[in-house]
Amino acid sequence: MGQLHQLLTARNDIPELYRYHHRLLNMLAERNDGEGIAALLAAIETVEPGFRLEDPELSVRCARCLYQRGHFKPALKLLQDFHKRFPDSEELAPAYLLVAQALANGLGQWEKASAFLNFVKKRCLNHPLHEQVDVYLQQVENREPLKGPKASFAVQE
């Protein structure tokens, strides 16, 4: 799959990149290749403006890679309207926590970040990440980078 990606990219064969986009994005996400994901999404956008991934888990994985490489706007675009597109997805809380991080840490949009965190707090009550939302909200209020709670290595007896 890596060789196919290199060949299609070198030939600038955007229709074929689009045709294989799901498998290529999976491969790039596995490699944590935010640059490759950004380039592939930009290429796809030229043949299908407004392109949306239809796989919630892959969307979050790709957005996380993009975020880690400083591609905040493409990460946000990938997760846009996530709750409408995938209302019952287990990925909703991780997606919108990542959106909040991109907005706050990447773009300095603290109020928008707070809105997404409050959405997770209200809508994702049963998700394991729910208990961390208050930590994130406190960080937003203090204009601190959103990093989540400190890890605890205490052993329960």
pLDDT digits (tens, 9 = 90+) for 7-50: 888 888 889 989 999 999 999 999 999 999 999 999 999 989 99
The residue extents of the domains of the chain are 81-149
Distance set, CA 72 to CA 9, 77, 99, 106 (Å): 23, 9, 9, 6
Instruction: List pLDDT tens digits, range 83-136.
Output: 999 999 999 999 999 999 999 999 999 999 999 999 999 999 888 888 899 999
Q: How far apart are CA 78 and CA 57, in angstroms?
A: 11
| Residue 150 confidence class, pLDDT cut points 50, 70, 90 | low
